[in-house]
Amino acid sequence: MSQSLATARVALNALARTAPRPCARSLSTARGGLPKRPAAPPLSQACRPRPLVQARGFKTVEEAKSRYRSGPFSWKAGILFVLTGCGLVWYFENEKKRMQRKRVAESTKGVGKPKVGGPFELMDQNGNKVTEQDLKGRYSLVYFGFTHCPDICPDELDKMARMFDLVEAQRRGALTPVFVTCDPARDGPQELKDYLVEFHPKFLGLTGTYEQIKAMCKAYRVYFSTPSHVKPGQDYLVDHSIYFYLMDPEGDFVEALGRQHSPEQGAKIILDHMKDWRGKWRTAN
Amino acid sequence: MGLLSGLGLTSPSPEEKRASEVRSGAVAPTRAERQRCWDARDAFYACLDANGIVDAIKEDKKVASVCKSENARFESDCAAQWVTYFKKWRVQDIQKKAKLKELEAQGANKMEVHTDFTPRS
């Protein structure tokens, strides 16, 4: 019994020794640690408790009391919290979308990726030579079709005209709309000119020899088939792919737009990619 | 006049010449000519719908008896190639819609189709 009492006293003594004594400790570290430090505050000053009201700068006791009741929350803090939250959400959403577009744009660059586009030499509707160099410095929207196309191409070209106008309204001279014929036997420069002017005066129509067109379609991975054994003067239809190819100002493929995109959606996709572009733009018109 | 020009006794008017060039595919139709063709096509389709005809090429005899005037207008306002194309397209379109309906009834999910090559997670 007396032994257990003695052990309890020892434990109490130990507790008293280890209990924190902040003032004494701060004094000892100030003395032992850095003797050259200029002004170690004297014990009496460092340990004097400051009056709460004075420290927070409240004018009246009532003010301090009401602040004490509401704690650290106030309408100012609430607004700041909500604004910061909204800001962060907006920023991350924006950044996420940008990264997605970047991934789309870059998915076709580098090793082992499908290479769409490339050098070509064709003739426009005015009989001038056009190469891939003429398209550089601007985005281009490339569509393949033919003037005798029964239903899809005219629809899509009307859509392309709307898309082009929407993009032009925001960024003038940043996009070249290009129409490449898959039917060079019948679509010469004059035919293209008559055809395209009904859709948009700014459309660039491209034609060439059968070999040139074939090479162009191959570079853009466009499937097209002219029926074989066509006699001169005989009518026929050409089967072909119906995507819009968005190419960046360096002639690299960015994204394909299809039938499922409305002109507004298409224009937004194009404008968003333009926003991301960090390379050169053509300055002269 | 129609009879005479048909026999090649008088030279056809410029409009008639143009229309025959469009029909033969010698020239590409203009926007107005395309629209006229599409209107004729839609009227023709409406007649086929009303008479329960799916394939106008296979059932040409029935077409000739019940949709004679619509067919004549369709053939006169569109290029011959377009007429064949639209007749075949109708069959495919009806089949496609029927197939989609059938799949939907079986509880198939509509697939979202993307046009870029990006892998999606």
Q: What is the pLDDT of residues A226-274, one digit of tens each?
A: 766 666 667 777 777 778 999 999 888 888 888 888 899 999 999 999 9
- C-alpha distance from residue A264 to each of A112, A163, A260 (Å): 33, 7, 11
Q: Which residue has the tokens 């995507």?
A: A243
Number of Cβ within 10 Å of residue A220's Cβ equals 21
Q: Please give the pLDDT value at position A50.
A: 53
Which residue from A minimizes the CA distance to B83?
A150
Contact at CB, B117 and A148, closer than 8 angstroms: no
Cα separation, A224 vs A214, in Å, equals 9
Longest dimension (CA), chain A: 126
- C-alpha distance from residue A62 to each of A30, A65, A69, A90, A167 (Å): 39, 5, 11, 40, 62
Q: Is A211 on the interface with B (CB under 8 A)?
A: no
Contact at CB, A236 and B81, closer than 8 angstroms: yes
A125 closest CA partner among A184, A192, A187, A186: A192
Q: Please give the pLDDT value at position A153.
A: 86
Least confident of A17-21, A139-143, A163-167, A251-255: A17-21
Contact at CB, B117 and A113, closer than 8 angstroms: yes
Q: Min CA distance, A22 vs chain B (Å)? A: 56
Number of Cβ within 10 Å of residue B35's Cβ equals 13
Higher pLDDT, A60 or A245: A245
Candidates B38, B112, B115, B121: best to mutate against A (most CBs of A within 10 A) is B115
Candidates A235, A236, A239, A241: best to mutate against B (most CBs of B within 10 A) is A235
Query: Which of A104, A151, A187 faces B116 most closely, judged by CB atoms?
Result: A104
Q: Is B44 on the interface with A (CB under 8 A)?
A: no
pLDDT over threshold 60, residue A211:
yes
